[in-house]
């Protein structure tokens, strides 16, 4: 794979890199996958923290507590 770097002097302060479109599309797909996984992990972490908070407060029902209703 050929990669070309364009110096900051020619671009006005930002260094640019030229890569084949196919590799760029692969990069974008990978980025989407990573963002999705991070979002799912954040949702899971939030659910776990809510569970732990509710458990400490005693708001969660256990199977035993449901069978002791007699």
> Is the Cα torsion angle 41, 42, 47, 50 positive or negative in sign?
positive
pLDDT at 63 over 80: no
The DSSP string of 1-70 is ---EEE-HHHHTS--EEE--HHHHHHHHHHHHHHHHHHHHHHHHHHHHHHHHHHHHHT----HHHHHTT-
Query: What's the confidence (pLDDT) of residue 51?
Result: 86
Q: Per residue in 4-58, pLDDT tens?
A: 788 888 888 888 888 889 999 999 999 999 888 888 888 888 888 888 888 888 7
Instruction: Write down the domain spans for the chain.
Output: 4-67
Query: What's the confidence (pLDDT) of residue 68?
Result: 64
Report the C-alpha gap between 41 and 67 in whole angstroms.
34
Token pair belonging to 49:
């923290």
pTM over 0.85: no
């Amino acid at each position: 794979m050929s990669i070309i770097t364009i110096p900051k002097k020619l671009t006005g302060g930002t260094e640019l890199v030229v890569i084949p479109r196919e590799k760029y599309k692969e990069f974008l797909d990978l980025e989407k996958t990573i963002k999705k996984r991070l979002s799912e992990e954040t949702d899971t972490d939030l659910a776990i923290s809510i569970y732990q908070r509710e458990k400490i407060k005693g708001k969660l029902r256990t199977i035993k507590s449901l069978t002791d209703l007699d």
